[in-house]
């Protein structure tokens, strides 16, 4: 009998599926999130010492792909998507290190998930040979990563909706500079309008009959699972060098990146303590401080990719740790306001010459707080984006221009354009219906 990894919905009312259909669907039909029936256990000995990130990912993710048509493709998917550097850079004066996740084409960790999802989607069986349109609503980083990952993938088209004037100029440029099979629509509204329009299109059977649609939502397992690979890779490297588990501080919004870290610990790899760093959106910190879970409206901060009041992966967190008190013992979360983020960016640039993006700075601030409280352990701070993506925040604080990484510079040098779209559901429906299949 062959093993099959089956995925269930966190809400328990969807049929079990293997990884391919779970990735194709994104959200389970009952509105829940797909989770593995049981998390596998992995042995350290299964991993090659000094393997590449792609090799680590292939070993780590094999049990998650077991029994699916994509299983045999996994090594090629990992090689295609995860050939990116993820250095664990030492901060010698601070007994800490930085896990840099910003060496992909769009300079944020979203590249890992988007590229893996694209590599999976281009291999999934399809009902017919019509173009599949991937819809994305974005407030910045996700849209660029998805555009870069799906650019020129045959049989696939990406349509990005973003709120006109509410993303940074560099972010808007990144969204509009691809062309070919990537379409950027600047919506005369807010991020919530973009998200509502995408949901309405996905839920419209008549539209789906003429224009096959899918999404690249952050709750997709196709984005979550590959994010486990850099934690596994860093933790194994640390373990072989130092013989201790790696403690990690993760900047957190929708809990996707942090969930991946917790699953790596849960499958038996040497991740030690995990702390979540949030911006002024304190839904998780309040819960971990003992309050009931209370999702709320997001407030705007300078770490805007983490402006989340109702973390979309919370259901996965509770599936993994059903007992609230156990969960609170295993994990901590802290909230950092914009002033503290600014002071952290300025302080570390002055004292050590290290320049962090505002999201990464939430985790660095958490590290500083732990040091003040007497903690002397080694911690890895997760750097989720390159500071050059947020130069309008960072440069006035450090007084220095941030050097733009080459991939980002190349993107900014290309011409960019986006079509305007009204913030009503019918506008997107009509736009999609006009596209050639």
Ligand X SMILES: *Cc1c(COP(=O)(O)O)cnc(C)c1O
Please give the residue ranges that form the binding site for ligand X (CB under 6 A). 108, 110, 141, 251-258, 305-306, 359, 384-385
| Nearer CB in complex with ligand X: 143/176 | 143
Least gap, CB of 284 to ligand X (angstroms): 10
Nearer of residues 32 and 256 to ligand X, judged by Cβ: 256
Hey, which bits of 252-396 come out as E strands?
271-278, 331-335, 379-383
Residue whose CB is less far from ligand X, 20 or 387: 387
Please name the residues in contact with 210: beta carbons below 8 A apart, sequence gap of 6 or more: 433, 437
Q: Which is nearer to ligand X, 316 or 359 (CB)?
A: 359
User: What's the burial of 69, exposed, middle or buried (CB within 10 Å: 0-12/13-18/19+)?
Assistant: middle
Q: How far apart are CA 163 and CA 420, in angstroms?
A: 10
- Beta bridge mates, 276: 250, 333
End-to-end CA gap in the chain: 41
Radius of gyration for the alpha carbons in the chain, expressed in angstroms and rounded:
21
Measured between alpha carbons, how far is 372 from 168 in angstroms, rounded to an integer? 34
Per-residue DSSP letters for 56-75? HHHHHHHHHHTTSTTGGGHH
**Is-contact 102 385, C-beta < 8 A?**
yes
CB of 253 to ligand X, least distance (A): 3
Question: What is the smallest separation between the CB atom of 258 and ligand X, expressed in angstroms?
Answer: 6
| C-beta closer to ligand X: residue 226 or 253 | 253
Query: What whole-number distance in Å separates Cα of residue 84 and Cα of residue 56?
Result: 13
Q: Least distance from C-beta 384 to ligand X, angstroms?
A: 3
The nearest distance, CB 376 to ligand X, in angstroms, is 27
CB of 17 or CB of 305, closer to ligand X: 305
State the CB neighbour count (10 A cutoff) for residue 427: 16
Identify which of residues 36 and 253 has a Cβ nearer to ligand X in the complex: 253
Q: In the bound complex, what is the minimum distance in angstroms from residue 415's beta carbon to ligand X?
A: 25
The answer to whether 113 touches 140, Cβ cutoff 8 Å, is no
Compute the C-alpha angle 110/255/238, nearest 5°.
Answer: 75
C-beta of 364 vs 385, nearer to ligand X: 385
CB nearer ligand X, residue 207 or residue 306: 306
Closest distance between ligand X and the C-beta of residue 55, in Å?
A: 24
CB of 242: closest distance to ligand X in angstroms? Answer: 27
CA distances from 18 to 3, 25, 132, 215, 400 (A): 11, 11, 21, 18, 50
Q: Of 77, 78, 106, nearest to 178 (Cα)? A: 106
Nearest approach, Cβ of residue 226 and ligand X (Å):
12
């Amino acid at each position: 009998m062959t093993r099959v990894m089956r995925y269930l919905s966190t809400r328990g009312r969807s049929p079990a599926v293997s990884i391919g259909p779970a990735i194709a669907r994104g959200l389970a039909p009952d509105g829940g999130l797909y989770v593995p029936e049981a998390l596998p256990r992995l042995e350290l000995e299964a991993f090659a010492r000094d393997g590449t990130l792609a090799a680590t990912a292939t070993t780590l993710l094999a049990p998650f792909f077991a029994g699916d048509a994509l299983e045999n493709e996994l090594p090629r998917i990992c090689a295609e998507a995860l050939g990116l550097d993820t250095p664990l850079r030492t901060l010698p004066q601070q007994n800490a290190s930085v896990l840099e996740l910003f060496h992909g084409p769009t300079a944020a960790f979203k590249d890992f998930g988007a590229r893996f999802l694209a590599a999976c989607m281009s291999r999934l069986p399809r009902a017919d040979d019509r173009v599949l349109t991937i819809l994305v609503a974005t407030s910045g980083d996700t849209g660029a990563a998805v555009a870069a990952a799906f650019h020129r993938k045959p049989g696939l088209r990406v349509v990005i909706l973003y709120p006109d004037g509410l993303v940074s100029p560099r972010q808007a440029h990144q969204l509009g500079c691809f062309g070919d099979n990537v379409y950027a629509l600047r919506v005369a509204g807010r991020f919530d309008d973009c998200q509502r329009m995408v949901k309405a299109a996905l839920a419209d059977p008549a539209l789906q009959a003429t224009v096959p649609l899918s999404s690249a939502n952050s709750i997709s397992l196709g984005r979550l699972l590959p994010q486990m690979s850099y934690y596994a890779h860093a933790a194994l490297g640390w373990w072989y060098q130092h013989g201790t588990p790696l403690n990690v501080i993760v900047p957190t919004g929708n809990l996707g990146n942090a969930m991946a870290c917790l699953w790596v610990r849960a499958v038996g790899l040497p991740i030690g303590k995990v702390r979540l760093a949030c911006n002024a959106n304190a839904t998780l910190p309040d819960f971990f401080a003992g309050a009931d879970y209370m999702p709320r409206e997001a407030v705007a901060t300078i770490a805007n990719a983490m402006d989340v009041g109702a973390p979309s992966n919370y259901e996965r967190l509770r599936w993994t740790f059903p007992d609230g008190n156990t969960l609170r013992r295993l994990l901590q979360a802290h909230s950092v306001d914009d002033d503290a983020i600014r002071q952290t960016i300025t302080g570390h640039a002055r004292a050590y010459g290290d320049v962090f993006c505002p999201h990464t700075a939430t985790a660095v601030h958490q590290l500083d707080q732990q040091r003040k409280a007497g903690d002397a352990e080694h911690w890895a701070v997760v750097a989720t984006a390159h500071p050059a993506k947020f130069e309008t925040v960072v440069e006035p604080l450090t007084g220095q221009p941030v050097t733009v990484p080459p991939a980002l510079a190349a993107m900014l040098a290309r011409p960019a354009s986006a079509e305007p779209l009204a913030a009503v559901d019918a506008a997107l429906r009509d736009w999609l219906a006009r596209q050639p299949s």
